[in-house]
Amino acid sequence: MMMKKLFVLLGIFAFAVTACDGGSNVKAEMAQMSVAVNKLSDAASAQEFHQAAASLREASVQSMNKKPSKIKTDEEFKDYQAGMQQFIEALDRADKLADENLDEAKKATQRLFELKAEYHRLYK
C-alpha cells in the first residue's frame, strides 16, 4: 500500500514537472542536434551524412516550434525561429552538397556551428 502511494506521488511529480515546462523543453532536441552535428562531421559516406542530416533536420524543426524557457516575448520567439530557419536552410545546403563532394558538405557545416554559437548564446 505504501509503495503504491509512492508510485502515485512520483507519477504526479513527473507529470507536474512536465506540465510546468509547458512543452517548452527544447533541451532534448538540442541534445539530439548536438549528436547529429557531430555525426555530420564524422560521416564516412554521403549516405551517413544524409542520415545525420535527416535526424538533425527533424530535431531542428521540432525545436523551432517550441519556445525555450528563456524567451519571454513574441518578438524573441520570432527571432529564435528565424535563427532556427537559417540553421535548417544551411543544413539543407550542406546535405545537397554531400552527393557531389562529401568534404565540401562537411565544410559547409561550419555555418551550422556559427549559427548555433550565435543563437545559443541568446536563447540557451
Degrees, nearest 5: CA angle 102-37-105: 20
pLDDT tens per residue across span 93-121: 999 999 999 999 999 999 998 888 888 78
Q: Domain 24-123's class?
A: mainly alpha
Domain spans of the chain, in order of start = 24-123
pLDDT tens per residue across span 11-40: 333 333 333 344 446 677 667 777 778 889
